[in-house]
Amino acid sequence: MGYILGFGIKCAALTLVSAIGIATLSGAVEAAPATSTIDINIYGLRSTKGNVLVCVTANPRFFPDCGKDPKGLKTSISARDAANISFSGIAKGTYAVALVHDENANNKMDMAIFLPKEGFGFSRNPAIVAGPPKFKAAAFEVDAAAVSQRVKMKYML
């Protein structure tokens, strides 16, 4: 009789653990964040030379150069193929995009005194007065399955 009682206790403990495990798994599935895609349509490139450097960040401290942002998304794509770029698996939030048309493919924006020699662009196409825009001027919400930004490249020289 003690054996049956022991067996019954073990079964009850196993059932309790299984129930907790199932509850934890179903809770994890519900808590998984929904992700989105950011589609960037680039227009106004003055040539197909070099690359387009793309930087996407949710952190205002790392805008417009998100090179040191550990969570920033960065890529370089041939200018010939840069009309449309997509980033998927993006968590919902507020983001900003910065682009550089790196015509000589040296992975940086070249300057002539204080003016950029190469093209640039930002999400929401904010007006450029003196220096790059603030994060807030280029920021947009990612709150749907897909969000798109149409970015016009600008050239100072």
Q: Which residues on adjacent β-strands are paired with residue 146?
A: 37
Residue 94: pLDDT above 60? yes
Percent of the chain with pLDDT over 90: 75
The band of 33, judged by pLDDT with boundaries at 50, 70 and 90, is low
Query: What's the confidence (pLDDT) of residue 65?
Result: 92
- In the chain, the largest separation of any two C-alpha atoms, in whole Å, equals 93
Query: What's the confidence (pLDDT) of residue 129?
Result: 86
Could you tell me the strand order of the sheet in which 35-43 lies? 84-91, 35-43, 146-152
Which residue did the predictor score with more confidence, 28 or 37? 37
